[in-house]
Amino acid sequence: MTRDDIIRMAEECGIPEFENNESQADNILHFAAIVAAIEQEECADLCEDLADLWDDDGHPGKAAGARICASDIRARGDI
């Protein structure tokens, strides 16, 4: 997601345009980054939980795949 995407979505939600208020845009972008980071970690944690279950059930290949997914989710770039 790009900076422009976030600003467009904020404007669609009724937050005023940022053209003359760069600090407000920075605040919205910072908020979006925090929300995205929390969601990203929660998704990665779900993959780790699934990997643990598959390890316990004797499916090391599936567990390894879930851990790769968790790692890939955590490696995604910032907005």
pTM for the model stands at 0.75
Domain ranges of the chain: 3-75
Q: Tell me, what's the pLDDT at 71? A: 95
pLDDT 10s per residue in the chain (79 long)? 788 888 888 889 888 776 667 788 888 889 999 999 999 999 999 999 999 999 999 999 999 999 999 999 999 865 4
Q: Tell me, what's the pLDDT at 49? A: 97
How far apart are alpha carbons 36 and 15 in whole angstroms? 19
Cβ neighbours of residue 78 under 8 Å, at least 6 residues apart? 33, 36, 37
Q: Tell me, what's the pLDDT at 3? A: 84
Residue 23 Rama label (left phi>0; alpha psi -120 to 50; beta): alpha
